[in-house]
Structure 1
């Protein structure tokens, strides 16, 4: 069950996050900074309107952007790769070289000079990859932290209520929070997996084990050896408190 694993690898050089199992940016109102427009850079996309200068499809206006992002949740086949941009006028100032760099990003999932363009004023590059991996370049990393918090909270909520009987009331789960959220960043740099399918439950305390996967994507969907866990994220349903415990060799 791949859906029971959350994988995160944070590349500090490119300021991007490669992930799987995270509630992604293709969700209505999931962003602090809603894009004004989107440049759709994935082959075969037919939504939006064609922009003759770049050769890409575009989504114009925040309301249309929100509707498009929301459609990616309702129908995963609508997921696309995109770059946000501030205005059509500035988009049309892109040079052929800059457009070719965007094509390179779309196909190689990496940038040549910078993932953030002065003319586009983009805050994100969203790339949908094979096997449900997602790579996002963030101008502001706190945007990803929002995604992580929501994903962990929702996943724990589902787990706590997994065996709820039909007539029972759903238990609420407190929003994920630990005293020092920046403590997570070094873990993300290592490339970690949170395995909810190997969760330990005792007396209303849920421990999600943490494993190092680095950038070895083939490891993500396998069952980990429990002895390889370097720590855990814990949620206590009675106190409604979260905690993080880990130790590197």
Structure 2
């Protein structure tokens, strides 16, 4: 049974660089989409419950036009259970997929794992998004790892904004958002993310001049209940590093 926790409390990331994917907790589909360097294009839906999808006769999959992605973003995706998709560039490429490739997509949506790393030149896809109870367990493949670093740096700042609306200690001027953490600073924790790292928003520390967001290495998890158990032990120890925001300069830095 899932532990009842504040959904904004932390972000867990495990990076598998060899196979170009992350496993995460704490970032949902809306936050993911808002944090990407470019807006999402058309989405090929592998597992979903979206009633506004269209049907592609060649692949027998449903899809969402780029202009309708906004409607999907308004859905309560966590209620879908499984939610799996892959972006694609144009319909011609979708209609060129062969039987083997379609079979790979079926396996991908069913098992949430690849037969081969799921990037197809015919689709020119940047992402493959596989979630169960969206935000609780998300497995995302990135064609370009820089997209992941950009997404995470933006998502952390967004979630700090949620906390600022709930807690008085984030004393930025009202209406002033936290700027994204630069992707180069996110990347400085790559080794920790390869082991499995938590970014703890609830343990963030504030002084008059700065905000410190701590991170802990907790290990490689698929079961998020087990991840929380390890986090509950680790946060009692000194963090493995910080993302630090300077209130005066509005700039980020990192410390180990």
Q: TM-score range by the shorter chain?
A: 0.7 to 0.9
Contact 1:164 1:170 in 2 (8 A): no
Q: Which residue of 2 aligns with 1:84?
A: 87
Q: Shift of the alpha carbon at 1:161? A: 4.8
Contact 2:37 2:151 in 1 (8 A): no
The separation in 2 between residues aligned to 1:116 and 1:183, in whole angstroms, is 26
Secondary structure in 2 aligned to 1:3?
Answer: coil
Contact 1:160 1:171 in 2 (8 A): no
Q: Which residue of 2 aligns with 1:54?
A: 59
The separation in 1 between residues aligned to 2:189 and 2:150, in whole angstroms, is 13
- Deviation by residue 1:51-103 (Cα, 9 ceiling, x = unmatched): 2322211123x2123x244324x765468321112232322222222211101
Q: Which residue of 1 aligns with 2:225?
A: 218
Q: Shift of the alpha carbon at 1:33? A: 4.1
Among candidates 137, 141, 156, match of residue 137 of structure 1: 141
Secondary structure in 2 aligned to 1:22?
Answer: coil
Q: Which moved more, 1:168-177 or 1:122-131?
A: 168-177
Mark the runs of 5 or more structure 1 residues left unpaired by the alignment: none
The separation in 2 between residues aligned to 1:209 and 1:31, in whole angstroms, is 23
Contact 2:213 2:243 in 1 (8 A): yes
- Deviation by residue 1:220-241 (Cα, 9 ceiling, x = unmatched): 3343442153222222334434
Asked if 1:234 is matched to 2:244, the reply is yes
Question: Structure 1 length normalisation: TM-score?
Answer: 0.81
The separation in 2 between residues aligned to 1:99 and 1:136, in whole angstroms, is 19
Among candidates 27, 41, 44, match of residue 39 of structure 1: 44
Mark the runs of 5 or more structure 2 residues left unpaired by the alignment: 1-5
Q: Shift of the alpha carbon at 1:27? A: 6.1
The aligned runs of 1:68-79 (5 Å cut-off) are 68-72=71-75, 76-77=78-79
The separation in 2 between residues aligned to 1:57 and 1:179, in whole angstroms, is 33
- Deviation by residue 1:158-214 (Cα, 9 ceiling, x = unmatched): 43453449xx96263541446943313223222100112222333453322211122
Cα gap change, 1:215/1:98 in structure 2, threshold over 3 Å: closer, same or farther?
same
Secondary structure in 1 aligned to 2:106?
Answer: helix
**What RMSD, in angstroms, separates the aligned Cα atoms of the two structures?**
3.0
The separation in 1 between residues aligned to 2:136 and 2:151, in whole angstroms, is 16
Q: Which residue of 1 aligns with 2:3?
A: none
Q: Which residue of 1 aligns with 2:166?
A: 162
Contact 1:26 1:70 in 2 (8 A): no
The separation in 2 between residues aligned to 1:153 and 1:10, in whole angstroms, is 20
Q: Shift of the alpha carbon at 1:218? A: 3.0
Question: Structure 2 length normalisation: TM-score?
Answer: 0.79
Cα gap change, 1:214/1:85 in structure 2, threshold over 3 Å: closer, same or farther?
same
